[in-house]
Structure 1
Amino acid sequence: MIDMKKRLKKIRTGIRMTGQFYQDEMQAILKDQGALLILSGAIIIYSLIYAYAYKMELVREVDTVVVDLDRSSSSRQLVRMIDGTEEVKVSRSATSMKEAREIFDEGEHVGGIVVIPANFENDLLEGVQADVAVYADGSYFLIYRQLLGAAVKSVGTFSAGVEIKRLMAEGKTYEQAMAARDPLSADLHFWFNPSSCYGSFVMPGLILIILQQTLLIGIGMIGGSNKEKNRHSFQVPVALKRGGIFPLLFGKSLSYLTIYSVNSLFTMVLLHNWFDYPNRGSYLDVMALTLLFLLSVIFMGITFSVLFKKRESSILLMVFLSPIVLFLSRISWPADSIPPLLHKLAHVFPSTIMVPAYLRIRDLGVGLVHVRYEYLLLLGQTGFYFLTASVALYFETRHNRKLSQQEEPI
């Protein structure tokens, strides 16, 4: 009975200590304008700017220069067909390839050049193959894809019309001509992002990267500020008691979890609804996965925050790592194409595990059971960083105790 009372007393003391450390950390965050801007303002600003920038979803009406060397009714019809596609807008015409190249080199936002050769109509009438040249800006893949796709679609449709008319002139019916022109047809289906929208493809994963990087920067800034101002001295006698590190760690973690629960609600619910991003999964599955992700990032941030002697150090390190983290997250490049060693090292960051699992839930609509491997991996990572954060805080408080003893007057 006495042991039970002692245990309950210890639990109440631990809860009270956790609440005190939670309050202290929240006050430190609210008083630090720079950290508050990173932890609260940056996630809203970044997500809104990126989401609004990608609001158009698709690159449409790419300015294109047409060089019509034939100037026939057939060539003009082909130009109208190209201009009628949503991908391309025929904004300029030129009399020669040299003139078109000069327009392109002037940098007037021209995506490419389409050249219709001389004798285009005569070749069609004589049954000779006519070539249409397309010069697309390969330095910009989105523009290149749109211009090339519009040209191929228009030329293919125009070519099919010519072939069908020729077959019907030979005595075939329209259905026979269609079957002869396309004996094998492909029935294409684009799942989960049928319109190939770029914003819907990149933004859900990019939001997770922003959440992670701003959280790591904010925790590092608070840790660096505490080092500069020696704010942790009051925590030393409490934290070094048996089990005292855990209330300290829980209190600090809960403060960041509180802030980023609100940030997650804004980015993963409100922002998704505002910009109509794919949302086929269950919110309960998303919440279960996001909770582990945030805890893993928080414990990782606390682990590394003890290394920063100045608040600026965390900003420099995370700005340096951000492009690397984005690339290794598999948003822009498939995991199978990343060197195996580099891919394994990428699992240091929670986003590497979180992004593919999150996208499968939100985009594909699968359940948590279908991402159980990533979930268990994220759970193990959370446990690992919990241990490293506990050890880091323990040695940090021991170091602070030595400093306090050295500063005491003899």
Structure 2
Amino acid sequence: MSDAALPYAPPFRPQLAAVGVFGSMLVAVGVFLSGFVMSEPAPYELFMAGLIGLWAIVGLRISRGVAPLLVLLVTFNVGGMLSLTVMDDLAGGPMYVAVSLFLALSSVFFAAIIEARHSRLELIFRAWVAGALITSILGILGYFHAFPGAEAFTLYDRAKGAFQDPNVFGPYLVAPSLYLMYGLLSGRILGAPLKIAGVLILALGVFLSFSRAAWALYLFSVVALVFIMLLKERTGAFRLKILILSISAAGLMVVALLVALQFDKVADLFSNRTQLVQDYDGGHLGRFDRHRIGFLMSMEKPLGIGPMVFSKIFPEDEHNIWLKSLTSYGWLGFLCYVSLIAWTLSAGFKYLLRNRPWQPYLMIALITIVGHSVIGFVIDTDHWRHFYLLLGILWGCFALERRHNLRSVKGAVS
């Protein structure tokens, strides 16, 4: 065979490989910092803004697979900019929209770098687990006042870790919990003790956040993970292993819960938080009444009312992401948000059970996004950094799937 007939192999360039590895490590640092948001701008914003800017200069490629995410999120934020025009007092409105735009770009960034190298998915989740474990431990120690000044990691006698709000702290821990559980259920027994310890730490952090939305999200996500793994794996031995380990893990969690409930403060707050409807949910101008009035008001406000204006009209914020998209981003933003979630879930379920290297990460991110979309009816997920990270992970996997399919078609044709 002549040299001309040989396929072209690009030369190995160690400098580019080193840059790629260094860039991946910086991404891991950024994901790790997402677990520490006690003030704004947080270290995460500052670090990621610099990293995204640097990557854009070096060469950040937005493919056709990622482009729809970019278009929908940018258009969503255009709705936010238009809502500023109806505000009498801009106050913090422009900064709110600026943060929204930054988070949107961070989501596109994660999708693009995952498409470029799918091995970054494992690095991202490991960094997320590290950040989640540390912030969860801080929340647990803070709740039990384990050291002087530990109350800085609590709010209203609820663990919040290195976050501003327990209602964000709890949901942040769910995806890394699923990652550890997946490793526990599918990995070797030798690594089980460390994974079990990690799962228990994160589960206790979720519990002590006393966030009903976080509890519901955690329970749904764990059940969904086990169900999908049972659905995907065909061998009886593997299914039996999953069932045994799942039952064992559930038993350990029940024991840990019973131990925690021996503390009077924990038991009292647990009893109060398990009530389905709190005082601030029902009644005149309660959460659900505000939702009803807010949706009716939004039907007459095509441009919305502007960011953070709702809480000036009513006693509290929207506490509903769907209503939030209407009030702060107008009809344009609402349509973009609904389209984004519908597209994301549709594509996610389409690719869910395909045998790919990125399938476990797609599965974990999809389960968590589904859960976030549901709890979004009673909580505002608009500026949750990990939510945009999950979107980026999913769309990066979608882009990988698209590229894989294109290569398969080309291979079949040739």
Q: Give the TM interval when normalised to the shorter protein.
A: under 0.3
Alignment TM-score, normalising by the size of structure 1: 0.23
Judging by fraction of residues, say which structure has more strand: 1
TM-score (norm 2): 0.22
